[in-house]
């Protein structure tokens, strides 16, 4: 009889142990969520039609593949996406850039630190910002540990912003003065000019 009475008693945890318990439960919830996402991704994967899988991230030609809508991308990197997949990823990236990155790390726009409000039209900027966002997702996750955010700042944010906001970077041709806005994309090198010279 005393056993059933003990089972109905509420569990009492000392206040000094609550923080540890909350931390443990939060970690378990995060781990369960990740396992659910992994399981969902694994059950959604489909083998290629000929039954053989290509090398990861490569098409049958060995070149990086760019899949169309409705197919799983060969890479999570935005340059590997097309159509609505690209548009959705760009929209999510835009939220991160404009709601988190710029308000916290944007700093003043100057001729030595340019920025273009139409950054989504600069392919290099989109690629670099997307890579920075992917790293941010990884290094701010609980599994990254306590030093994850510091590593993200040192290894990704600082060098990434130096390239993005360099005077000769992707925004170098855009006017930095708010009173004289100008947006201009720089032309990439023409490979045929190098082939003719060789």
- Ranges of each domain in the chain: 84-189
Local confidence band at 174 (pLDDT 50, 70, 90 cut-offs): confident
Local confidence band at 41 (pLDDT 50, 70, 90 cut-offs): low
Question: Residue with structure tokens 């003990």?
Answer: 6
The predicted pLDDT at position 138 comes to: 94
The predicted pLDDT at position 73 comes to: 54
Instruction: For 176-196, give one letter per residue: b (16+ CB within 10 A) or e.
Output: beeeeeeeeeeeeeeeeeeee
| Average pLDDT of span 163-171 | 93
The predicted pLDDT at position 127 comes to: 95
Which residues 6+ apart lie within 8 Å of 8 measured at CB? none
Residue 90: pLDDT over 80: yes
Which residues 6+ apart lie within 8 Å of 129 measured at CB? 93, 97, 101, 119, 160, 164
Least confident of 57-71, 131-145, 149-163: 57-71
| Percent of the chain at pLDDT exceeding 70 | 61
d(CA 101, CA 105): 6
Residue (of 124, 67, 136, 123) closest to 95 by Cα position: 136
Task: Calculate the average pLDDT of the chain.
Answer: 76
Q: When comparing pLDDT for 33 and 13, which is higher?
A: 33
pLDDT tens digits along 100-137: 999 999 988 888 899 999 999 999 999 999 999 999 99
Does the predicted TM-score (pTM) go above 0.85?
no
pLDDT tens digits along 149-163: 999 999 999 999 999
Local confidence band at 6 (pLDDT 50, 70, 90 cut-offs): low
Least confident of 28-42, 92-106, 126-140, 160-174: 28-42
């Amino acid at each position: 009889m005393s056993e059933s009475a003990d089972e109905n008693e509420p569990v009492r945890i000392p206040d000094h142990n609550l923080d540890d318990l909350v931390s443990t439960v939060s970690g378990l919830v995060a781990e369960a969520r990740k396992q659910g996402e992994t399981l969902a991704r694994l059950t959604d994967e489909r083998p290629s039609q000929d039954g053989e899988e290509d090398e990861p991230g490569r098409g049958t030609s060995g070149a990086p593949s760019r899949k169309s809508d409705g197919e799983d991308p060969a890479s999570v990197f935005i340059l590997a996406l097309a159509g609505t997949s690209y548009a959705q990823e760009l929209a999510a990236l835009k939220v991160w850039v404009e709601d988190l990155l710029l308000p916290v790390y944007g700093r003043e726009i100057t001729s030595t630190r340019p920025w273009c409000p139409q950054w989504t039209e600069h392919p290099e900027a989109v690629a670099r910002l997307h890579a920075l966002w992917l790293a941010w997702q990884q290094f701010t996750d609980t599994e990254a540990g306590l030093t994850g955010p510091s590593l993200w700042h040192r290894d990704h944010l600082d060098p990434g912003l130096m390239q993005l906001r360099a005077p000769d970077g992707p925004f170098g041709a855009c006017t930095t003065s708010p009173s004289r806005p100008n947006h201009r994309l720089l032309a990439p090198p023409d490979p045929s000019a190098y082939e003719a010279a060789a």
